[in-house]
Amino acid sequence: MATTNGVPSRRRPHVLVIPLPSRGHLLPLLDFAHRLSTRHGVPLTVAVTSSNLPLISAFLASTPLAAALPIEFPDASSPEHSSHRPPPGSHHALLAIHLPGFREPLLSWARSHPDPPTVVISDFFLGWAQHLADDLRVPRIVFYASGAFAVAALEHLWKGVLPLDPNSSPVVVLDSLPGSPAFPYDHVPSVVKKYVAGDPDWEFVREGFRLNATAWGAAVNTFDEMESEFLECLKRFFGHSRVWAVGPVADSGCRRAERSPEAEQLFSWLDACPPRSVVYVCFGTMYKPPPAQTAALGAALEASGARFIWAVGAGVAVLPEGLEERTAERGRVVRGWAPQVDILRHPAAGAFLTHCGWNSTLEGVAAGVVLLAWPMMADQFIDARLVVDLHGAAVQAAEGAAAVPDPGTLARVFADAVDGTKWADVRAKASALAAAAAEASEEGGSSWVALDGMVKELETAYASPLPIDHR
């Protein structure tokens, strides 16, 4: 290392960002990277597959110090690389299994670059990035696109997963977490259940989480006022204090592409709606509801009398016959990608029927709408527990991927959610949590201070003689 008067010189900061090439993981990591770069003048290089390059165009345009590093999946026609190419529609955890083939190209790029990276920041499903950081002798920060409660639950479960038996333990107690929360086995995160079922691919996923626990630091897309107890848990589990709550990170400015005519029409319609009068319905980008669920949901929206936006994504080919025509005055159906952050932040949005994926949960919390929780899989039952039971800012509407709720009951939930005279306590708690989220991200707020603290500790780390002590 170069020295000045015998004192080690500070290496120029340069962050290599490695996202999981899945929209729900890629976008929040880019939001975080944008905030890091624009606030602190940190240059970034984002490793991105060519298929995801269009997704980062708005990010690159709004982040002057960021550059893309296109990287390809190994050629599927090559026998030695065919196992690295993910099948179409892979679950994001299984997608991660195919990405360690990126390690060598990234290592070669870093070693030949005139300004090599001094920090690696990667998605939490990419535990193998720890080996890359070790090879480069730089600190790695794991970015958790899940909440602290869910991450702490996974850490507890991975440590005790071998004796976990759904037959003898129908209820799983997380006794190392505050309050010893208990969940039915069916509500345990999917990544753990897949491992317990004996699928060998999921051993790789577990090993990735083990590597995450050895990383230099962790940035979590949450805020202290929402999950302080669980953030303290993570510090205890990881054995250090370098755990930073940096959220909510959602930044529509670094995601926004030019609005389509359809989107313009949607927001013009929203502009004409009364405040807090619209129910927004979306189950994320990966979920494809079965026909019976679609029929029940459509019938409930129609019977509720409430204004609504139903973002069906690419998963619902056929809606209940005639629904759009019968509800044309008070409802809109969005096919494909919906500008969710902007919809939720619109003054007309009043409630959000959500699967409780963490991105959606936190975006709903930040917008101050009443969350109608319908958890289905993954960490969604944990997220629902957090907002429904621990914060009282949400109402349980249904649960389970196979659930087909009674349309009349669900219709009353929709109607009550946008009736300003009902659910006053839930509405007040949702507003208070939104205010806390906004305050956390403002100058001097907890997440603002955490990001500043992270940068200062990084500056100390990459100015020190290497190798880095990851513990």
CA atoms within 13 A on the CB side of 190: 13
Structural contact between residues 132 and 123, judged by C-beta atoms closer than 8 angstroms: no
Tokens 């030695």 belong to residue: 80
Q: What is the DSSP string of 94-162?
A: HHHHT-GGGHHHHHHHHHH-SS--SEEEEETT-TTHHHHHHHHT--EEEEESS-HHHHHHHHHHHHT-T
Q: What is the pLDDT of residues 352-364, one digit of tens each?
A: 999 999 999 999 9
Q: Which are the contacts of 107, defined by CB distance < 8 A and separation ≥ 6?
A: 132, 135, 136
Domains and CATH numbers, the chain: 10-252+443-463 (3.40.50.2000), 260-438 (3.40.50.2000)
Pairing of strands 394-396, 370-373: parallel
- pLDDT 10s digits, 73-111: 654 333 333 344 444 444 555 566 667 788 899 999 999
The Cα 453–Cα 456 span in angstroms is 5
| pLDDT (average), residues 149-161 | 89
Q: Which two tokens stand for residue 401?
A: 């991927």
Q: Whole-angstrom Cα distance, residue 169 to residue 260?
A: 51
Task: Compute the distance between CA of residue 94 and CA of residue 86 in angstroms, rounded to an integer.
Answer: 8
Distance between CA atoms of 327 and 308, rounded to whole angstroms? 9
Q: Quick one: pLDDT at residue 4? A: 38
Q: Which of these, 122, 156, 116, lies nearest to 136 by C-alpha position?
A: 116
Average pLDDT over residues 24-39: 93
Mean pLDDT computed over 115-138: 94
**CA atoms of 31 and 62, how far apart (whole Å):** 11
Q: Which of 71-75, 191-195, 280-284, 345-349 has the highest mean pLDDT?
A: 345-349
Binned at pLDDT 50, 70 and 90, residue 9 comes out as very low
Give tens-digit pLDDT for 215-249.
Answer: 999 999 999 999 999 999 999 999 999 999 999 99
Across 278-282, 313-317, 461-465, least confident range = 461-465
Rounded Cα distance between 35 and 240, Å, is 24
Mean pLDDT for all residues in the chain: 87
Least confident of 261-265, 266-270, 289-293, 458-462: 458-462
Q: Residues with catalytic annotation?
A: 25, 123
User: Residue 97's pLDDT is what?
Assistant: 67
Q: Check residue 461 and give its pLDDT.
A: 72
pLDDT recorded at residue 95:
61
Model pLDDT, residue 2: 40
> What's the per-residue H, E or C state across 340-407?
HHHHHHCCCEEEEEECCCHHHHHHHHHHCCEEEECCCCCCHHHHHHHHHHHCCCEEECCCCCCCCCCH
Q: What is the pLDDT of residue 469?
A: 39
Tell how strand 182-184 and strand 217-220 pair up: unpaired
Task: Please give the pLDDT value at position 202.
Answer: 77
pLDDT at 190: 85
Q: Which two tokens stand for residue 32?
A: 């975080």
97 close to 85: Cβ distance less than 8 angstroms:
no
**Which pLDDT belongs to residue 7?**
38
**Percent of the chain scored above 90 by pLDDT?**
66
Res 437: pLDDT:
97
449 sits in which H/E element: helix 446-463
Q: Tell me what pLDDT residue 94 has.
A: 56
Mean pLDDT of 377-399: 96
Q: Cβ atoms within 10 A of the Cβ of 60, count?
A: 18
Q: Which of 192, 337, 340, 449 is nearest to 183 (CA)?
A: 192
The Cα–Cα gap between 346 and 331 comes to 16
List, as one string, the DSSP characters of 209-272: HHHHTTSSEEEESS-HHHHHHHHHHHHHHHTSS-EEE------GGGT--PPPHHHHHHHHHHHT
Give 260's pLDDT tier (boundaries 50, 70, 90): confident
**What's 422's DSSP letter?**
S
pLDDT digits (tens, 9 = 90+) for 424-469: 999 999 999 999 999 999 999 999 999 999 999 988 876 543 444 3
Give yes or no for residue 165 having a pLDDT over 90: no
CA distance linking residue 296 with residue 106, whole number of Å: 48
* pLDDT band with cut points at 50, 70 and 90 for residue 151: very high
What was the pLDDT predicted at 96? 64
pLDDT digit string, tens, across residues 333-347: 998 788 999 999 999
Are the CB atoms for 190 and 376 separated by under 8 Å? no
pTM: 0.90
